[in-house]
Structure 1
Amino acid sequence: MPAAALAILEIIKWCGVPVGLYAFFHALMQRPDAYTAIDRLTKPAWLGITAGGTAALVLFWLSGIGWMFWIAGLVAALVYIVDVRPRLIEVQRGNRW
């Protein structure tokens, strides 16, 4: 594999853990009723998903057979950040008009 590709993979590997930690701590800081207001899973469910995803990011680096679990952990964190987080912010902010 070319050196540039290895460097990109290394950067992605090191950026995964902070992304997972951010998702977990953001989920931890939100109000429980906001999760039900956006028709998503409950707060404990998202805490479990983001904690499990972060654990996978820490335990299974991009090496060997563990890369599948690493990818699953990254996807779990990114789903929270991209789908759930914006709706939580919108619901808790309220109507600005």
Structure 2
Amino acid sequence: MYIDLLNPFWWLATAIICYKAFALADAAFRRDDAYRAADKKTKTFWVVVLALALGADLLFGANPVTGLLTLVGLVAAIVYMVDVRPAIKLLTDGRGRGGRSNQGPYGPW
């Protein structure tokens, strides 16, 4: 274990797994209709793709140098985080629950 902490590839693999886990959790907690409103693939599609990407890393081990499954899954997570998440966040006001903000009946409060 101590030797793993000194290995930069272990840190890189851990960061990739954490990034994919965050992307999966974010995709799972967003509203389903927001994906359609943002003209993106469905929520089910993104949750399945990101779950497969994370599952492959947890099952086979994340190898950031030569692992093709790791790199393909990382690309999917990056596409979700850079393209899909901002579009959905814009529609749902960043909260994932739909359009609520700090607006009262007479303006902001």
For normalisation by structure 1, the TM-score amounts to 0.79
**Counterparts of 2:88 and 2:78 in 1: how far apart (Å)?**
15
Deviation, 1:63, is 7.7
For residues 36-86 of structure 1, give each alpha carbon's deviation from its aligned partner in whole angstroms, at most 9, with x where no partner exists.
011110111111111111112223321896x00111111111111111111
Change (3 A) 1:89 1:63: closer
Change (3 A) 1:87 1:7: same
Checking the alignment, whether the CA contact within 8 Å between 1:49 and 1:76 is kept in structure 2 is: yes
**Counterparts of 2:59 and 2:85 in 1: how far apart (Å)?**
25
Change (3 A) 1:28 1:63: closer
Task: Show the counterpart of 2:11.
Answer: 11
Task: Show the counterpart of 1:47.
Answer: 47
Q: Which entry has the higher C-alpha Rg, 1 or 2?
A: 2
Task: Show the counterpart of 1:73.
Answer: 73
Instruction: Confirm or deny that 1:91 pairs with 2:91.
Output: yes
Q: Which runs of 5+ in 2 are unaligned?
A: 1-5, 94-98, 102-109
Q: Which runs of 5+ in 1 are unaligned?
A: 1-5
- Structure number with the bigger relative contact order (C-alpha 8 A, sep ≥ 6) is 1
**Counterparts of 2:78 and 2:7 in 1: how far apart (Å)?**
22
Amino acid corresponding to residue 68 of structure 1 in structure 2 = L
Task: Show the counterpart of 1:82.
Answer: 82
**Counterparts of 2:10 and 2:44 in 1: how far apart (Å)?**
32
Task: Show the counterpart of 2:106.
Answer: none
Change (3 A) 1:63 1:46: closer
Among the aligned pairs, what percent are the same residue?
33
RMSD: 2.2
Task: Show the counterpart of 1:57.
Answer: 57
- Matched ranges for 1:30-45 at <5 A: 30-45=30-45
Number of aligned residue pairs: give it: 89
